[in-house]
Amino acid sequence: LAKTTQPISMDSYEGQEVNITCSHNNIATNDYITWYQQFPSQGPRFIIQGYKTKVTNEVASLFIPADRKSSTLSLPRVSLSDTAVYYCLVGDRSGANNLFFGTGTRLTVIP
């Protein structure tokens, strides 16, 4: 399973756009990139998933360059409620569901 590297923490003011970059140099051809959000004492929650180029949903965008060795989660106009830990994961199915979560990025939104 490909491992990931993310910044340990980030701070942002309310209303700003936040970009969290994840490095996954050993990503394999069949791997997808998935981001989860976790609030304290809760289970992680799926945010977005992509394979290449750009994916956008109602809460975030995911940018993946051509070489796929990194990806960037973009949160537009963050609010205080976006304060959480964000995890980047890469993996395929391979008959297993043991995703490696890594340490995640602790985002703190400041009023």
Partner 1 sequence: KAGVTQTPRYLIKTRGQQVTLSCSPISGHRSVSWYQQTPGQGLQFLFEYFSETQRNKGNFPGRFSGRQFSNSRSEMNVSTLELGDSALYLCASTLTGGHKVDTQYFGPGTRLTVL
Residue closer to partner 1 by CB (options 12, 34) is 34
Is residue 55 a contact point for partner 1 (CB under 8 A)?
A: no
Give the one residue of 13, 80, 100, 108 binding partner 1; rule: CB under 8 A.
Answer: 100
Residue 43 sits in the site that holds partner 1 (CB under 8 A) = yes
Select from 8, 29, 42, 66 the one that contacts partner 1 (CB under 8 A).
42
Rounded to whole angstroms, how far apart are CA atoms 78 and 95?
36
Task: List 91's β-bridge partners, or say none.
Answer: 32
Nearest to 67 by CA among 34, 40, 33: 33
What phi-psi label fits residue 41: left (phi over 0), alpha (psi between -120 and 50 degrees) or beta? left
> Which residues here bind partner 1, judged by CB under 8 A?
30-32, 34, 36, 41-46, 49, 87, 89, 91-93, 95-104
